[in-house]
Amino acid sequence: MILGDLLGRDVYDDGGTRLGRVADARFVVDGVPRQLLAEARLLGLVVSPHSASSFLGYERTGLRQPWPLPSLLRWRHRGSFLVLWEDIVMIGAQGVRLREGFTAYSPALD
């Protein structure tokens, strides 16, 4: 599938409650080794309750400068969380559905 089709889709829990939208996809380069880089597998999706996409990623880093951009963007993306691939039960035209009892991880990169 093409990643652009997934970004911005609604995310629902197993009960049908809307949790937000897919703001980003996180990959980890730990797959089958190749000649140059190893395969990058999908680790999970960053879900943002208040915004359709991610901008500059301040909510995932500890950067504080330049004032006041980090504070504003962190507020814009407040409540973002990372859900792992294992907790995704279906990706469809209606959105992404998560498993019962899924874990919301911190989206922080460091």
**Which residues make up the interface to another protein (CB under 8 A)?**
1-5, 7, 13, 19, 23-31, 34-44, 46, 53-54, 56-57, 60, 79, 81-82, 84-86, 88-93, 99, 102-109
Separation of alpha carbons 84 and 98, rounded Å: 10
Contact 63, 57 (CB under 8 A): no
What is the smallest separation between the CB atom of 68 and another protein, expressed in angstroms?
Answer: 20
Nearer to another protein, 5 or 72 (CB): 5
Nearer to another protein, 39 or 72 (CB): 39
Separation of alpha carbons 88 and 15, rounded Å: 13
Contact 20, 11 (CB under 8 A): yes
